[in-house]
Structure 1
Amino acid sequence: MERGGYSALCEAWYVEGDGWTPVTETVALEVPVAIHCNGLFVEEISCTPEDVEDLVIGHLYTSGVIDAFDDVSLVEVAACTVGFEAHVCAPGPNLALECSYALCPAGDCPAGDLEISPKAVHRASSALLGVQDMHRNTGATHAAVFADVSGSYRFVREDIGRHNAVDKLIGALLRNDVDPSSGFVHLSSRCALDLVKKCSTFGIRLISTVSAPTSAVLDFADERGITLCAFARNGHFTVYTHPEHLSR
């Protein structure tokens, strides 16, 4: 297997009916990254080896280990024999290392004005495949994007893990001091509760996804004041919670 970047080439067979054809396939790389904070081991995550620093920062933030990017004084990511090791220096963070999302209390989430047009959601959903370079090459990755109020993409992050893609995106938003009320998040994956919780930690008020929510997701989004737009594809979507953040 020939490896490079986020993908590898491998020899395989394409079978159609009784016919076998040798082919060269592009597959997504999956490697471990061991995260250490202030010398303590936090967690090992399997990920796509791109934007690893964003992943580390985003994961520490959504896990409640750090409260802001300003908590971090040093981030070092180095390749090792089987993947990466990340060492973060964050004087005085919350090192209760259980993976508990740093959620704001119900009703206390950021309340600034937010109004997104349905056209912006349509624009973001229709543009997704065009920016999913890893997915087009491997067919194995998810994407998390932050779009501005017009639906234009500002940040795109991909990973084999949908949770990793969201952590990478939030890490990038933190590192670039992005105001969460300046846009919304669009996800290529199912509208999973953990993903919505991660977005909520950063103060995201509108989330659109290509697939379905569950009742737990709807309960959470309703409680937290999050507008949830699911099945956002092919020029349509369904608004499940807080439609007031969408213009009519």
Structure 2
Amino acid sequence: MPRQVSVRRYKDAAWGDMDDVLSREVPVRVEWGPEPGGGGAAGTAGIVAGSTRLWAWPHGLADLALGHVLLDRVHPAVTGSEPGARGIRHAGTVTDMSRGAGDGDNLAFAVSLRAVPGAGVPQPPAPMRAAVLLDAMRAFMGEEGLWDGTGCFHRAGVYDPVQGRLLRRAEDIGRHNCIDRLAGWAAREGVDLAPRLLLVSARVTASLFAKARRAGFSFIVSRSAVTTASVDMATEQGVTLVGFARDREERFTVFADAGGRVLE
């Protein structure tokens, strides 16, 4: 639940006292290592165990922990073993090690990883017409969520252009956490992200673009802005990158689309 606070606000050239709400953000400890018997030399032998601390909204943290480890700690593109690697190569199980429910200082999760069989050449996402793309963004942004009340949250979603529906939506204070949550869900459920779209509320910077690519996405649609770096990377890698997708204004901007995935 949000925290109730009493604040002073300056508006319309006048001061006033009011009640407001703050979104909760807590530290989360994550430990990881290879799953015993989960892949041997070919699968998990190269994984170096470690731990880190994240700051996040305290809900659905198992997917966040798993996704963070997969994308930011053991992914070949991060470790340097395969700089151009795309897609998630491992799955895992998550154990809640928390003690004292509700105490943020004690939130902790252990991630045990195992290798998954290679999926071969990634299947590209199906093309989408402009009106359908806007409908997807409308469904993505239109649902009530954690933004309501605090105005503090980002969201990201997985959209299937073949089924024409949103498969998963994640929300968190940090925009990178949203991608981690989607990746953790996909690894847990065995969902291939390559033929799906990534919808995001946040701006697409180089770091967010790189994380989306590590997850396997090649079609990214943002409600917000993009940067020169993300556009250059999208152009070089054949990724479709759409920004300023505003369903209420019936508009979006295609910044890169070498694959011709956005149709009239």
TM-score (norm 1): 0.81
**Which secondary structure state, in structure 2, belongs to the residue aligned with residue 50 of structure 1?**
coil
Distance 1:135 1:213, change over 3 A: same
- Corresponding position of 1:53: 62
**Which secondary structure state, in structure 2, belongs to the residue aligned with residue 170 of structure 1?**
helix
Query: How far is 1:131 from its partner?
Result: 2.4
Query: How far is 1:246 from its partner?
Result: 1.9
1:10 is aligned to 2:29: no
Distance 1:20 1:179, change over 3 A: same
- Corresponding position of 2:96: 76
- Corresponding position of 2:200: 187
CA distance in 2, matches of 1:140, 1:162: 11
- The one-letter code of the counterpart of 2:128 is I
Alpha carbons 1:191, 1:214 under 8 Å: kept: yes
Distance 1:238 1:109, change over 3 A: farther
**Which secondary structure state, in structure 1, belongs to the residue aligned with residue 98 of structure 2?**
strand
Identity across aligned pairs (percent)?
25
CA distance in 2, matches of 1:44, 1:60: 11
CA distance in 2, matches of 1:192, 1:75: 32
Matches within 5 A, 1:41-190: 41-65=50-74, 67-70=88-91, 72-79=92-99, 81-83=103-105, 84-90=107-113, 110-112=122-124, 114-149=126-161, 152-190=165-203
1:33 to 20, 28, 34: 28
Alpha carbons 1:132, 1:158 under 8 Å: kept: no
Query: How far is 1:114 from its partner?
Result: 2.5
Q: Deviations over 1:170-207 (max 9, x none)?
A: 21122222222442011101111111111111221210
Alpha carbons 1:184, 1:206 under 8 Å: kept: yes
**Which secondary structure state, in structure 1, belongs to the residue aligned with residue 59 of structure 2?**
coil
Query: How far is 1:116 from its partner?
Result: 2.0
Which is worse superposed, 171-180 or 34-43? Answer: 34-43
**Which secondary structure state, in structure 1, belongs to the residue aligned with residue 58 of structure 2?**
coil
1:247 is aligned to 2:263: yes
Which stretches in structure 1 are left out of the alignment for 5+ residues?
94-107
Which stretches in structure 2 are left out of the alignment for 5+ residues?
35-48, 76-87
The size of the alignment, in residue pairs, is 228
CA distance in 1, matches of 2:17, 2:56: 29
CA distance in 1, matches of 2:66, 2:30: 10
CA distance in 2, matches of 1:50, 1:132: 17
Query: How far is 1:20 from its partner?
Result: 4.4
TM-score (norm 2): 0.76
- The one-letter code of the counterpart of 1:13 is R
Query: How far is 1:126 from its partner?
Result: 2.3
Alpha carbons 2:125, 2:197 under 8 Å: kept: no
Query: How far is 1:247 from its partner?
Result: 2.7
CA distance in 2, matches of 1:91, 1:242: 35
